[in-house]
Amino acid sequence: MTDTLLPSTDVTAGDTLFAGQPVRIVERDGVRYTLLGTAHVSHASVEAVEKAIHSGRFDAVAVELDPQRLQALTEPDTLAKLDLVEVIRKGRVALFAANLALSAYQRRLAEQLGIEPGAELKRAVLLAREQGLPVHLIDREVGLTFKRASAQLGFFGKIKLMTGLAAGLFSSDEVGTDEIEKLKQGDMLESSFGEFAKESPALYDAIIGERDRYMATRLREERALQGAVPAQREVLAVVGAGHLAGLATYLETDHDAPVPLRAQLEEVAKKRNIPWFTLAILAIVATGIGVGFYRGGLGVGGELLLTWAMYTGGLAGLGCLLAGSHPLSILTAIVVAPFKPFRLSIPTGAFAALVEARLRKPAYEDFLKLRDDAQSLKGWYRNRVTRVVLTFMLTNIGSMLGLWLTGFQVWGKVAG
């Protein structure tokens, strides 16, 4: 099919149909796309969505959501269906923690502004369904965006990213006026990452630029599925104002086939996850212990092995203790940590967290209160779900510190 399009046009802010919200119109391949730019924390945006859909002008509605985010908006008890053990086993604890940070940030906004972030997107979906209009979820899954963003950051960049998310997670301060104004013109994910998104071009591109192109690709993909004569000639696309210009540009200019392009934008490069830094420290420790046995016999070698076990196991156990974990979870961390060389790909925290989840299995009530409890440090310790996450994170931090300190201790004794 040959692409045909007309230049995009702006609709004046005074257009009463859209309640003064910014709009771009792109006509391509027999379809007229009305791109409605919204603020995710604005009652005016909800009003604009309602007026536009009630007008009867549109054959379909597309929204800046993926199935997971839509479910979170429309089914508040979604988290209660979560299998926490599977989250740990599949290595998704960090992603789960990042989603909690985003959820806590959104809850703070809702309490401060009196409107649920993304209310206009939720309203668009529900109202379209009431009107019998097809609904297209055109945004990329948050998990894929996190993974692609993380893959483009170095070790220290990831540390900085997680530190920034944690700082925002436990902050009890109100969201500043400047931040709210930026959010009205920007994007929820960008705002959640704060200034770091602007400091890191790779992260910014994954969060904003790529998603602009992804959403344009999804719109073109839906058009291609309709064949030569589209049944949906008037499509309303409800997206954050920060995506409006990029989405319009990609919708006008992108000529790559939508299906393979979508696959490309969803791909997460599988890197050989070789922990070179950890391997280097382990090599230092192993060499030092070997030299100790060679020079000082069983006495010195045994002392160095005991140092290894005390530092790695002791600090892993201390981290687990600081997480308020069950005594058997702490014991698990102490026992498992010294065996790090034999299971490089499985963090110590995963074992402790699995034991914690089994012994203190989160109740349905914990999942229901998760969004509220995730807003404060006290809540993290009170809620059994977040305490499992704390067990995972603090145990890993302790184990990592133990590994580093052992390297310095062993090398110092051998070199001296």
Residue 132: which pLDDT band, with cuts at 50, 70 and 90? very high
SS3 60: strand
How many CA atoms, within 13 angstroms, populate the side-chain half-sphere of residue 239? 32
Report pTM: 0.71
Give pLDDT tens digits for 308-317: 889 889 999 9
Q: Are 247 and 35 in contact (CB under 8 A)?
A: yes
Residue written as token pair 């051998």: 414
> Residues 6 or more apart from 272 whose CB is under 8 A from it?
none
What confidence score (pLDDT) does residue 160 get?
66
Q: Are 62 and 266 in contact (CB under 8 A)?
A: no
Q: Which of 61-70, 139-148, 212-221, 345-354 has the highest mean pLDDT?
A: 212-221
Return the higher-pLDDT residue of 200 and 376. Answer: 376
What confidence score (pLDDT) does residue 113 get?
67
Q: Are 59 and 231 in contact (CB under 8 A)?
A: yes
State how far the Cα of 250 lies from the Cα of 212, in Å rounded to an integer: 7
* C-alpha triplet 323, 324, 326: angle, nearest 5°: 115
292 has a pLDDT exceeding 60? yes
Alpha carbon distances (Å) from 344 to 42, 190, 340, 391? 48, 33, 6, 19
| Strand-pair category, 23-28 with 31-38 | antiparallel
> What residues pair up with 11 in beta bridges, in sequence order?
23
Q: Are 193 and 230 in contact (CB under 8 A)?
A: no
Return the higher-pLDDT residue of 178 and 357. Answer: 357
Residue 196: which pLDDT band, with cuts at 50, 70 and 90? low
Rg (CA), the chain: 26
Q: Are 328 and 321 in contact (CB under 8 A)?
A: no
- What's the rounded mean pLDDT across residues 397-406? 88
Least confident of 84-98, 192-206, 345-359: 192-206
Q: Are 215 and 139 in contact (CB under 8 A)?
A: yes
* C-alpha triplet 185, 191, 193: angle, nearest 5°: 155
- What's the rounded mean pLDDT across residues 145-157? 73
SS3 379: helix
What confidence score (pLDDT) does residue 410 get?
72
Q: Are 398 and 320 in contact (CB under 8 A)?
A: yes
* C-alpha triplet 387, 392, 393: angle, nearest 5°: 95
Quote the crossing angle between the two packed helices 177-185 and 93-113, to the nearest 10°. Answer: 110
Looking at residue 254, the DSSP 8-state letter turns out to be -
What confidence score (pLDDT) does residue 1 get?
38
Cα 70 to the center of its chain, rounded Å: 15
106 has a pLDDT exceeding 90? no
Encode burial over 215-245: b for 16+ CB neighbours within 10 A, e otherwise: bbbbbbbbbeeeeeebebeebbbbbbbbbbe
How many CA atoms, within 13 angstroms, populate the side-chain half-sphere of residue 206? 22
Give pLDDT tens digits for 231-259: 889 999 999 888 888 999 999 999 999 99
Give pLDDT tens digits for 24-61: 999 998 999 999 988 877 788 889 999 999 999 999 99
201 has a pLDDT exceeding 70? no
Least confident of 53-62, 79-88, 96-105, 185-194: 185-194
SS3 102: helix
Least confident of 176-190, 273-287, 321-335: 176-190
> What are phi and psi for residue 35, nearest 5 degrees?
-95, 110
Number of other CB atoms surrounding residue 414 within 10 Å: 19
12 has a pLDDT exceeding 50? no
Share of the chain above pLDDT 70, in %: 72
13 has a pLDDT exceeding 60? no
Cα 335 to the center of its chain, rounded Å: 32
State how far the Cα of 410 lies from the Cα of 329, in Å rounded to an integer: 28
Looking at residue 12, the DSSP 8-state letter turns out to be P
What confidence score (pLDDT) does residue 31 get?
94
State how far the Cα of 54 lies from the Cα of 38, in Å rounded to an integer: 17
> What are phi and psi for residue 60, nearest 5 degrees?
-160, 160
301 has a pLDDT exceeding 70? no
